[in-house]
Amino acid sequence: MKETLTKIKKAIKGAQTALLASHVDPDGDSIGSMLATGMILSQFGVEVDYYSKDGVPRIYRFLQESGKVKKKITANKRYDLLITLDSSDIKRVGGDLPETGLAKLVINIDHHPDNTKFADINFVEKSSSTAELVYYLAKSLKAKIALAVAECLYVAIITDTGNFRYENTSANTLAIAEDLLKAGVSPPEITTRIYDTKSVASIRVQAAALSSLEISPERNVAWATATKEMMEKNHAKAEDLVGLVDQIRSIDGIEVAILFREEDGKVKVNFRSKSKINVSEIARVFGGGGHMRAAGVIFENKAIEQAKDEVIKEVLKRIKASKYLV
Ligand code: AMP
Ligand code: MN
Ligand code: MN
């Protein structure tokens, strides 16, 4: 880690401009890590632009600098650095990234085990969140962790750890959180903004999707579907479905939870597992990826019923096979 940090420090100190990029369907980690990195780079005189193809979900818009995030890349603008945050592959950044020439140097900061190490400098380490790695970068740069930066990192950490509940929460995670609290972060203020400011559309569309809940015969796999019709009827956006798959996983005895959703003519699938099945392996079968307990797939051209059939068949097969391993 030390060697990589030294390389990144050198790159930042020699740079004047940087483009920071989140992944598609951004979550708290990709947005918080991107904004924190931007604010840290600004301290070193680097001029930064932020790119998130799918914008910034409403609940993260209280974070400083979130108003500067653009959904499009400025045509023909070139940068000294492109830094991708929380993206296991350059394709996860999505959108209109030109094939070549966007930046002189690409830095990949990420914690996904399936990261393809696509950049010139790959700062890819096992950690609860990409934000933990951004924190180590800030420390190694001796950057000031101002309250605005601390809030971004805190949001990123709690959203990837389920507010310190998941098994990716480590002693390091809590030590970093301690430092962020010392910088002035207020846990109740942040958790209220993240977990207790749901839209009515979100509650209604989640209720509709939950009413479609199906359970496997052995009662260890559960799935629900959010159709285009449910989304339209409830005036819901994709971000209104956040948390739903975690709720399905919370059912007693459920090992794998799946949410199928129709969006922009695509079928998106979110996976969660409780303690045994590695859902990133299942996601990879269909061209997706993620972590052991949280993963996803995007089907570009498949009817939802077909996608459901294929995915559920694969999950049931894995569950059956795993019984011999446990
Ligand atoms: P989500 O269900 O959107 O919270 O995503 C859970 C995890 O899976 C995150 O770490 C994502 O980065 C990853 N993930 C989600 N969708 C995809 C995809 N289509 N391809 C690769 N990784 C994904
Ligand atoms: Mn993410
Ligand atoms: Mn993450």
Ligand 1 atom at minimal distance to the Cα of residue 245: 2
**Residue 217 domain-assigned?**
yes
Q: Are residues 128 and 265 in the same domain?
A: no
Distance 231 CA to ligand 1 centre (A): 21
Ligand 1 within 6 A of CB of 267: no
Taking residues 198-218, report their average pLDDT. Answer: 97
Residue 189 sits in the same domain as residue 214: no
| Residue 259's CATH number | 3.10.310.30
CA–CA gap between residue 199 and residue 241 (Å, rounded):
11
The span from the CA of 16 to the CA of 13, in Å, is 8
Which of 161, 195, 229 represents a domain boundary (last residue)?
195
Using an 8 Å Cβ cutoff, are 21 and 35 in contact?
A: no
Domain membership of residue 326 (yes or no) is: no
- CATH number for the domain spanning 78: value is 3.90.1640.10
Neighbours of ion ligand 3 (CB under 5 A): 29, 86, 129-130, 160
- Domain shared by 236 and 172, yes or no: no
Q: Ligand 1 within 6 A of 279 CB?
A: no
* Protein residue with its CA nearest to atom 19 in ligand 1: 297
Q: Is residue 121 part of a domain?
A: yes
The pLDDT tens digits for 146-168 are 999 999 999 999 999 999 999 99
In this structure, the answer to whether residues 51 and 165 fall within a common structural domain is yes
66 and 191 inside one domain: yes
Residues 52 and 178 in one domain: yes
CA 201 – CA 118 distance, rounded (Å): 38
Structure tokens belonging to residue 85: 């945050």
Give the C-alpha separation, 251 to 48, whole Å.
Answer: 44
Residues 243 and 185 in one domain: no
Residues 59 and 205 placed together within one structural domain of the fold:
no
The span from the CA of 84 to the CA of 92, in Å, is 9
Domain annotation covers residue 283: yes
Res. 324: pLDDT tops 80: no
Distance CA 93, CA 23 (A): 4
Mean pLDDT (the chain, rounded): 96
The residue nearest atom 9 of ligand 1, judged by CA position, is: 290
In a shared domain, residues 272 and 188 = no
Atom of ligand 1 nearest to the CA of 270: 2
Residue 98 binned pLDDT confidence (cut-offs 50, 70, 90):
confident
* 228-287 pLDDT, tens digit each: 999 999 999 999 999 999 999 999 999 999 999 999 999 999 999 999 999 999 999 999
- Cα(315)–Cα(234) distance, rounded to whole angstroms? 30
Q: Ligand 2 centroid to 290 CA: how many Å? A: 8
Task: Round to whole Å and give the CA distance between 266 and 288.
Answer: 13
Report yes or no on 229 lying in a domain.
yes
Which tens digits make up the pLDDT trace of 17-70?
999 999 999 999 999 999 999 999 999 999 999 999 999 999 999 999 999 999
Give the model's pLDDT for residue 275: 92
Q: Is the pLDDT of residue 96 over 90?
A: no
- What is the pTM for the complete model shown? 0.95
**Best CA proximity match to 194, nearest among 165, 162, 223:** 162
Q: Is residue 39 part of a domain?
A: yes
Examine the domain organization and report whether 80 and 183 are in the same domain. Answer: yes
Identify the nearest ligand to the CA of 109 by its number: 3
Q: Is residue 13 part of a domain?
A: yes
Provide the 3-class DSSP secondary structure of residue 194.
Answer: helix
| Closest to 78 (Cα-Cα) out of 96, 95, 102 | 102
Residues in the chain: 326
Distance separating alpha carbons of residues 246 and 92, to the nearest angstrom: 22
Q: Of 155, 180, 195, which residue is a domain's last? A: 195
What's the pLDDT tens digit per position in 177-200? 999 999 999 999 999 999 999 999
Same domain, 185 and 240: no
For ligand 1, atom 11, the nearest C-alpha belongs to 290
Q: Which of 195, 219, 249 is the last residue of a domain?
A: 195
CA of 300, nearest ligand number = 1
**Would the CB of 261 count as within 6 Å of ligand 1?**
no
Note whether 159 and 259 are same-domain residues: no
User: Would 234 be classed as within a structural domain?
Assistant: yes
List of residues 6+ apart from 31 with CB closer than 8 A: 22, 52, 56, 57, 60, 63, 66, 69, 152, 155, 156
Parent domain of 53: 2-195
Among positive and negative, which fits the CA dihedral 113, 117, 118, 122? positive
Domain count, the chain: 2
Share above pLDDT 70 across residues of the chain, in percent, rounded to a whole number: 99
